[in-house]
Amino acid sequence: MFSDFASHFGINNIPYGVASSTRWPTPQCVTRIDNDVISLADLADKGIFDGVAENLAKVFHERTLNPFAALSKDIHAKVRSAIQSAYKDGKLDGCSEHVDNVQMHLPVQIGDFSDFSGSMNHMGNMSEVISGKRTIPPMFHKFPPVYAGRCSSIYISGTPVTRPLGHSFEDFTAPEKGIVFGPCRILDYELEVGAIIGSPVEPSTMLHAKDADEHIFGLVLVNDWSARDIQVCEMTPLGPFNGKNFATTISPWIITLEALEPYRTPAPELSVTEFLDDPNSMNYKIDLGVEVTRNGTKSKVCEVNFDTMHWTLRQMLAHHTIGGCGLRTGDLIATGTVSGVGETEHGCLMELTKGGRKPFTLSDGNDLRYLEDGDIVQFTGLLADGVGFGECTGQVRPAPKLP
Amino acid sequence: MFSDFASHFGINNIPYGVASSTRWPTPQCVTRIDNDVISLADLADKGIFDGVAENLAKVFHERTLNPFAALSKDIHAKVRSAIQSAYKDGKLDGCSEHVDNVQMHLPVQIGDFSDFSGSMNHMGNMSEVISGKRTIPPMFHKFPPVYAGRCSSIYISGTPVTRPLGHSFEDFTAPEKGIVFGPCRILDYELEVGAIIGSPVEPSTMLHAKDADEHIFGLVLVNDWSARDIQVCEMTPLGPFNGKNFATTISPWIITLEALEPYRTPAPELSVTEFLDDPNSMNYKIDLGVEVTRNGTKSKVCEVNFDTMHWTLRQMLAHHTIGGCGLRTGDLIATGTVSGVGETEHGCLMELTKGGRKPFTLSDGNDLRYLEDGDIVQFTGLLADGVGFGECTGQVRPAPKLP
């Protein structure tokens, strides 16, 4: 239940989302404190934001947070403070619904989705699983690798994920045996964090990493579901496509950089091109976790901190824009799988089970190699008592019958 | 000038676009006959479409063609016929502007852009240029390769294209020499055709190739500008990103399948999975051309027919949706570079100049290896007198100063 995560949403969080309910049949902009989902439009109507900006009531009645995310950081800060003051002054009465009584929706309209691969541990682990050697491609030391993902398949936490059909090598380890068609046999998750763009970056602007926070509205958790067999068969030379585009799940609450600021931690110092250089390079101390529920039994399969990342989100935004590409409000920029060095810190099953060769033992003693139909995958992210992401969850549904 | 292409837009074409002008300051939906750009909203207000569908005046006053494209093929057919009748009956007076007096805009809002690689000739030619061997990856015979492109960088014909900055191998042919940062040194175009999705494909629908035309509103020309040096440095293993996402140009007029129907031609018979199988597989006889203008002198550098494609757009849509991915109205599905087997049929400069090693001689006797600043690239596509795409054009601007 959503209400399990009340402790993530204290007065120092003030996340943003979009919700509907019996009282609010049309999705609208909301925040959350403990288990109360609060209508920002109602707060605006009550005058809580008077003097902060024009038209906030209209902005908060929209079905997406894009118009709000596009406003200045100064306005975001004033809105946050006004909500905190209203809470302290007991002025939120009549503006909220219990979280179990609302339906959450995608918080923004996402015009483009870019998925980076910013963890050196993940890259090394995957290389070891696939080739037996821990190889990091030389370009990884110069810039963060990335591919463009699919926007129409981004779903809100709680949406079931259907096992895809597709082409794959009959034998994953012996491509020469040929290509077959059928349901995905190697279904995986990828534990990621994503930035939602606030203020846009105009084409040909070429952002420096050190200035990139100005354009990040906030962060969400991302599950980049991956059909490994389909992905491996298709990705040379154009990259992943059907192996990824059947589903990507995001958590419903956007956690702002203001809420995250107290949990900053230094990022690796890198010797890089000037526009990627960031004298105060930093990550956030986010305790990320993955739990898999199979046959009603929940097992913790990963605990890893976001501070293990090699490339920062700031650097990802800088690399993204250096060729002249713009970023629009609502764009999703994901970090790629977050993995540490330890055996309990693997952000995907390919790493955890060494390509399925070394099963993980679930709480009930059964083996986990890859995802089976019915499995529920739940990501969580917590910074400290009162500041967290809640959950990013999806259950695997069986593949459709062959057409 | 746009008016050079009057002969592409006879009474049997009836393309759709979005235009503004002094009289129509807000972009709205239009068609074109000869050199007259005709307001569809004006026609609706005059009653030309009475009885065809509700609210067409509102639909045609929109800034994009998405609401119209989403309507049924039956309505599209009736609108086309009503325009043709009104023309014959001399009822278009007062509803049009000369093409030189309008500004064309992106015809649709594009929610996702997928770029295939459906020409076997292109794949073989590129392999030969890069490795000296004509290798087709085995998966190409099973399904069309594809990557996800960038939506925010799709521009309308006529928009200048700025040479991107980026990371590349110091020596294109010797990656071990290291990676440098600076302006793209190997700028290329790619001659492509793109389908615009009309009626959407819901997620998990899994389209069969034979049924895919139902979801194609029409076709446009696409220039998938490519920074080859940046692309080569980044594309293993995640595919192209900054090498492509600085700009993609599309032609302003969407040519409907109805206008193209008389120019169908059989496509290769392939032995493929059932959902890709298409008993009446077909391409269109589109004469595609590329002209490069340098220092005021125009040179024809490519003439190739679209019937050289190995994979059809129908098969591309089927492959795209087989894993459960949906398609939304306005999505752009491009074919990849169209190339033939002859020396005059190369859809990009990498092929034409053998990776820059064998320059092409321009009309004025100078050498063309790759695109230089100031070069104008113009694509055209013609089916027969009166039915064509017009042009898809862009001029290369110098890279910005290093930041």
B154 pLDDT band (50/70/90 cuts)? very high
Residues in chain A within 8 Å Cβ distance of B137: 236-237
When computed from its CA atoms, the radius of gyration of chain B, rounded to whole angstroms, is 21
Is 90 exceeded by the pLDDT of residue B349?
yes
Report the DSSP pairing between strands B264-266 and B282-284: antiparallel
Question: Encoding tokens for residue A333?
Answer: 């920029």
> Which residues in A198-273 belong to E strands, given as ranges?
216-223, 226-227, 248-250, 255-256, 264-266
Within 13 A of B194's CA, how many CA atoms are on the CB side? 32
pLDDT of residue A403: 55
Interface test with B, best of A110, A119, A143 (most B CBs within 10 A): A143
How many CB atoms are closer than 10 A to CB B75? 16
Interchain CB distance below 8 Å, B138 and A239: no
**Average pLDDT score over residue span A232-255:** 97
Is 70 exceeded by the pLDDT of residue A290?
yes
**Average pLDDT score over residue span A11-40:** 97
Q: Is A319 helix (H, G, I), strand (E, B) or coil?
A: helix
**Average pLDDT score over residue span A311-325:** 98
Q: How far apart are CA B308 and CA B192, in angstroms?
A: 12
- Of A122, A319, A320, A346, which is the active-site residue? A122
A3 pLDDT band (50/70/90 cuts)? low
Question: Closest residue of B to A183, CA-based?
Answer: B323
Q: How many residues are there in chain A? A: 403
Residues in chain B within 8 Å Cβ distance of A138: 175, 178-179
Is 90 exceeded by the pLDDT of residue A147?
yes
Instruction: Tell whether omega for the bond before A27 is within 30 degrees of 0, i.e. cis.
Output: no
pLDDT in tens, A74-122: 999 999 999 999 999 999 999 999 999 999 999 999 999 999 999 999 9
Question: Encoding tokens for residue B262?
Answer: 């008389």
Question: Which among B111, B147, B206 has the least Cβ separation from residue A152?
Answer: B111
Question: Closest residue of A to B177, CA-based?
Answer: A138
Check if the beta carbon of residue A170 is closer than 8 Å to that of residue A254.
Answer: no
- Of B8, B61, B76, B122, which is the active-site residue? B122
**Average pLDDT score over residue span B271-295:** 96
B401 pLDDT band (50/70/90 cuts)? confident
Check if the beta carbon of residue A393 is closer than 8 Å to that of residue A2.
Answer: no
Within 13 A of A40's CA, how many CA atoms are on the CB side? 31
Question: Encoding tokens for residue A197?
Answer: 């763009």
Q: How far apart are CA A51 and CA A71, in angstroms?
A: 15
Q: Residue holding tokens 């500008």? A: B225
Nearest to B65 by CA among B23, B109, B104: B109
Q: Considering chain A, what percentage of its residues have pLDDT values greater than 90?
A: 96
Residues in chain A within 8 Å Cβ distance of B275: 403
Check if the beta carbon of residue B301 is closer than 8 Å to that of residue B290.
Answer: yes
* Dihedral pair phi/psi, residue A219, rounded to 5°: -120, 155
pLDDT of residue B246: 98
pLDDT in tens, B77-132: 999 999 999 999 999 999 999 999 999 999 999 999 999 999 999 999 999 999 99
Q: How far apart are CA A144 and CA A83, in angstroms?
A: 37
pLDDT of residue B4: 82
Interface test with B, best of A112, A119, A184 (most B CBs within 10 A): A112
Is 70 exceeded by the pLDDT of residue B138?
yes
Residues in chain B within 8 Å Cβ distance of A165: 206, 322-324
What are residue B392's DSSP bridge partners?
Answer: B379
A2 pLDDT band (50/70/90 cuts)? low
Q: How far apart are CA A39 and CA A16, in angstroms?
A: 10
Interchain CB distance below 8 Å, B237 and A236: yes
Residues in chain B within 8 Å Cβ distance of A184: 323
Nearest to B260 by CA among B223, B306, B224, B303: B306
Check if the beta carbon of residue A385 is closer than 8 Å to that of residue A7.
Answer: yes
pLDDT of residue A174: 87
Check if the beta carbon of residue B139 is closer than 8 Å to that of residue A167.
Answer: yes
Is 80 exceeded by the pLDDT of residue B403?
no
What are residue B294's DSSP bridge partners?
Answer: B297
Work out how many CB contacts closer than 8 A connect A with B.
Answer: 183
Interchain CB distance below 8 Å, B204 and A117: no
Cα–Cα distances in angstroms (integers) from residue A365 to residues A294, A373, B256, in the given order = 11, 18, 59
What are residue A305's DSSP bridge partners?
Answer: A287
Q: Residue holding tokens 């007991």? A: A90
Report the DSSP pairing between strands A36-39 and A96-98: antiparallel
Q: Residue holding tokens 């020396």? A: B343
What residues contact A103, with CB distance under 8 A and at least 6 apart? Answer: A19, A20, A21, A27
Interchain CB distance below 8 Å, A238 and B208: no
The whole-chain average pLDDT of chain B stands at 96
The C-alpha of B286 sits at a distance from chain A's nearest C-alpha, in angstroms, of: 26
B2 pLDDT band (50/70/90 cuts)? low
Q: What share of chain B is helix, strand, coil (3-state, %, to 5)?
A: 25, 30, 45
Question: Which among A114, A242, A323 has the least Cβ separation from residue B165?
Answer: A323
Interface test with B, best of A322, A332, A333, A401 (most B CBs within 10 A): A322
The C-alpha of B71 sits at a distance from chain A's nearest C-alpha, in angstroms, of: 20
Interchain CB distance below 8 Å, A139 and B166: no
| Known active-site residue B215 | no
Question: Which among A114, A162, A179 has the least Cβ separation from residue B142?
Answer: A179
Is 70 exceeded by the pLDDT of residue B164?
yes
Q: How far apart are CA B84 and CA B92, in angstroms?
A: 10
Nearest to B149 by CA among B94, B187, B111: B111
Question: Encoding tokens for residue A99?
Answer: 């979280």
The whole-chain average pLDDT of chain A stands at 96
Helix (H) or strand (E) holding B267: none
Interchain CB distance below 8 Å, B153 and A326: yes
